[in-house]
Amino acid sequence: MSEEKKTIPTKVQKGNRPKIEEVIDYCLDGDLKQSALDFAVYMRENGMPFKLHTSTTRSQRADYKGDHICNILICGDEGDCYRPGGSPYWAIGPNLIHMDKYKDEIISEKLRLNFGDMIYRCSVAHPGSRGGKGCDPNKPCAGGRDLTIFGDGFDGICKWLWPAVENPDEATVRIIKRLLELERMARDNK
């Protein structure tokens, strides 16, 4: 990363409501930048543009028919994205709340994702975990939720942060796009 990117430019600050493409351009370089930009374009062209929804411009979400369908997280080398001092990365968090309706396709098309360490546990239920910000034991979401994802069970998952895939390669992005397509179809057929 070049030294000029150490200070967040005004156009990428939250008050200016930057598009995710501007954030990607500021935070990432090379192949990471290109793959994140390609995914952002895909989402916009398919009626699911990313928009601000948190206190940071680097985490944005896309909706489908008024419901959250996917998050994107873009992190430069400033150490501001759950991994202080880490190298730049981007992550996709598909919100696959209707997976049970297309589990046969997941199996037959081999659409399993590996979330690695990007599964966010509730920091109230799992002290020391990297759950959401502003967590409090008195909030109604405290304790998280239990999820079965691709046949694996997880307890105490943050209710606000869906598991994500960090720096997805081209094959993984294709899988995520297919899963989002299946999720949209499931939502259309509710």
| pLDDT at position 101 | 94
Question: Is the CB of residue 122 less than 8 Å from the CB of residue 158?
Answer: yes
For residue 3, what pLDDT is reported? 44
**How far is Cα 76 from Cα 91, in angstroms, rounded to an integer?**
12
- Which structure tokens are listed for 97? 């709340």
**pLDDT tens per residue, the chain (190 residues)?**
444 444 455 555 556 678 899 889 888 999 999 999 999 999 999 999 999 876 667 788 999 988 999 999 888 765 555 455 568 889 999 999 899 899 999 999 999 888 877 777 888 877 777 655 667 788 888 888 888 788 788 888 887 677 889 899 999 999 999 999 999 999 999 7
CB 175 within 8 A of CB 182: no
Q: What is the per-residue pLDDT for 52?
A: 84
As given in the structure block, the two tokens for residue 118 are 């990007």
CA distance 101 to 171: 23
61 burial level (CB within 10 Å; 0-12, 13-18, 19+): buried
How far apart CA 131 and CA 122 sit, in angstroms, is: 5
d(C-alpha 109, C-alpha 183), whole Å:
15
> Given CA atoms 61, 64, 158, 112 in this order, what sign does their dihedral have?
negative
pTM: 0.81
CA distance 60 to 50: 6
